[in-house]
Amino acid sequence: MSAENEKLRPRPLLIGLMGCGKSSIGRRLATRLDMPLIDLDDMIVGQAGMPIPEIFKRFGEAYFRDVESEALRQIIKRQAIIATGGGVVLREKNRQILKSHPPVIWLKASPEFLAERIAGDPNRPLIANEDALQKLTELADARYPLYAACANLVIGRDDMNKDDISTLIINYLHKETNNAQHD
Ligand code: S3P
């Protein structure tokens, strides 16, 4: 076990709009904390045997949300860093699960920041063939309150790079662990 994680028990669960860096920051955390990473989207793709756009196209978004909810339920208790898909907060049941398994960390990015990075990405069916900025603005309006309701820590994504965000999360986890030990 590395020195960096020897006292760490809480595992971070990352939420936020598509393109905010949940998976890539999750990978950095996994390396630095020497913990496994579970990426819900990857898990769904693996189980379905097809990419997400194809799941949406063949079975529809509601089916995808069912599978996503089931995947969340299956892995929520695992000692692993969890990177979620941006829409995981849409269902009330999922929000309850997230809230009861802290720490939940919201990587809060502006639609402008995200649109620059993911406009035209064919792997993201909700923005493919759409005006990315407009769609992301709609998603932010609808989802920011849902992310806020679940998050124990909110990190402004626009002004920080992924390494600094990873460090901030690790420091937060250390602090949480120390607080728990002194309770
Ligand atoms: C979605 C986000 C995607 C993926 C699916 C739906 C969403 O994950 O789960 O395309 O509703 O915002 P990322 O947030 O990892 O892109």
Q: What is the 3-state secondary structure (H, E, C) of 110-177?
A: CHHHHHHHHCCCCCCCCCCCCCHHHHHHHHHHHHHHHHHHHCCEEEECCCCCHHHHHHHHHHHHHHHH
Q: Which atom of ligand 1 is nearest to the CA of 44?
A: 9
Residue (of 34, 36, 63) closest to 47 by Cα position: 63
**174 Cα to the center of ligand 1, angstroms:** 29
pLDDT at 1: 47
Give the tens place of pLDDT for each residue, 93-120.
999 999 999 999 999 999 999 999 998 8
134 inside domain = yes
* 68 CA → ligand 1 middle, Å: 10
Residue 169 lies in a domain: yes
Decide if 154 is inside a domain: yes
Residue 15 resides in a domain? no
Q: How far is the CA of 126 from the centre of ligand 1 (A)?
A: 8
Best residue among 117, 124, 143 to mutate for probing ligand 1's pocket (most ligand atoms within 8 Å of CB) is 124
* Mean pLDDT value across residues 70-95: 97
Tens of pLDDT, residues 30-59: 999 999 999 999 999 999 999 999 999 999
Q: Which CATH number fits the domain that encloses residue 127?
A: 3.40.50.300
The pocket around ligand 1, CB under 6 angstroms, is made up of 18, 22, 41, 52, 85-87, 124-126
What are the two backbone dihedrals, phi and then psi, of residue 154, each rounded to the nearest 5 degrees?
A: -115, 125
Confidence of residue 181 (pLDDT cuts 50, 70, 90): confident
Query: Does 183 reside within a domain?
Result: no
Number of domains in the chain: 1
Q: pLDDT tens, 117-139?
A: 998 898 999 998 889 999 999 99
Q: How confident is the model at residue 4 (pLDDT cuts 50, 70, 90)?
A: low
pLDDT of residue 180: 79
Ligand 1 centre from 87 Cα, in Å? 6
Q: Which two tokens stand for residue 41?
A: 């989207």
In a domain, 166, yes or no: yes
87: confidence class by pLDDT, cuts 50, 70, 90: very high
Q: Please check whether residue 5 lies inside any domain of the structure.
A: no
d(CA 130, CA 125): 9
User: How does the average pLDDT of the chain come out, rounded?
Assistant: 93
The pLDDT of residue 111 is: 98
Q: Do the domain assignments include residue 4?
A: no
User: Which residues constitute the domain of residue 47?
Assistant: 21-174
At 182 the pLDDT is 75
